[in-house]
């Protein structure tokens, strides 16, 4: 789907036409420049590669510098591909947040906040044992028995246990577009999106 690269600014709230206070997320969407146009003849599929946020030349590898010079653009920090743009785009063209003027809903892809190694209560919503510890000491939030005995004598794959939580690619679908502020490249969507402030997100129509 067509889309843009953006940066999460933070959350706020706006008042709707009927006076309701609506929580929303502010995203700096673009401007992005076209760094590559992929075609069926050459690449096997059609897509447009967009670049977001400028980067110093001394921090860019030589292969990427050649890639950007071929497109006639300055080095970019983030690259992403999008498909099915309504208009034909050429190298060096700029895509702005105005593409969402006629969009009612968008999908946002981001990386969720990393929370480190967490137990089963926080990671999977286990209830724990509350105050009924059955004589155990300091076991209120432990997973308890995991079912392995002399048979099957192993732990099944996919068993819900403690482990790394967060830091995953998360897609939130059908977020309502509340406002497009083209002068400042801002997009306001209803609700929350994955990631911390300043994290890079993909916004898809």
Q: Which residues contact 1 (CB under 8 A, 6 or more apart)?
A: 82, 83, 84, 107, 204, 205
DSSP character for 123? Answer: H
Residues in the chain: 205
Place of tokens 């789907």: 1
- pLDDT tens for 133-186 read 667 777 788 887 888 788 888 889 999 999 999 999 999 999 999 999 999 999
127 — pLDDT class (breaks 50, 70, 90): confident
What is the model's pLDDT at position 137? 73
User: What secondary structure does DSSP assign to 71-127, as a single string?
Assistant: HT---EEEEEEE---SS---TT-EE-GGGGTT-SEEEEEEEPPP-EEE-HHHHH---
pLDDT cut 70: percent of the chain above it: 98
Q: In angstroms, rounded to a whole number, what is the distance separating the alpha carbons of residues 132 and 120? A: 18
How many other β-carbons are positioned within 10 Å of the β-carbon of residue 83? Answer: 13
Weakest mean pLDDT among 34-43, 90-99, 134-143: 134-143
205 — pLDDT class (breaks 50, 70, 90): confident
DSSP character for 152? Answer: T
Could you tell me the sign of the dihedral formed by the alpha carbons of 74, 79, 85, 88, in that order? positive
Which tokens go with 142?
Answer: 């432990």
pTM exceeds 0.95 for this model? no
Annotated domain spans of the chain: 114-137+154-164
């Amino acid at each position: 789907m067509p889309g843009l690269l953006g940066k999460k600014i933070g959350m706020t709230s706006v008042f709707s036409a009927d006076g309701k206070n609506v929580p929303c997320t502010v995203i700096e969407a673009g401007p992005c420049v076209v760094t590559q146009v992929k075609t069926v003849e050459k690449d096997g599929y059609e897509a447009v590669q967009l670049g977001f946020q400028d980067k110093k030349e001394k921090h860019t590898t030589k292969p990427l510098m050649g890639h950007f010079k071929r497109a006639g653009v300055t080095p970019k920090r983030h690259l992403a591909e999008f498909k099915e743009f309504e208009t034909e785009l050429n190298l060096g063209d700029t895509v702005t947040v105005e593409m969402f003027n006629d969009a009612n809903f968008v999908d946002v892809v981001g990386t969720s906040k990393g929370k480190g190694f967490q137990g089963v209560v926080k990671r999977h919503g286990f209830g724990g044992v509350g105050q009924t510890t059955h004589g155990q000491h300091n076991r209120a939030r432990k997973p308890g028995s995991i079912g392995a005995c002399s048979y099957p004598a192993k732990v099944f794959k996919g068993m819900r246990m403690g482990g790394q939580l967060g830091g995953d690619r998360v897609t939130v679908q059908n977020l309502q577009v509340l406002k497009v502020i083209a002068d400042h490249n801002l997009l306001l969507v209803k609700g929350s999106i994955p990631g911390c402030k300043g994290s890079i997100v993909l916004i898809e129509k």
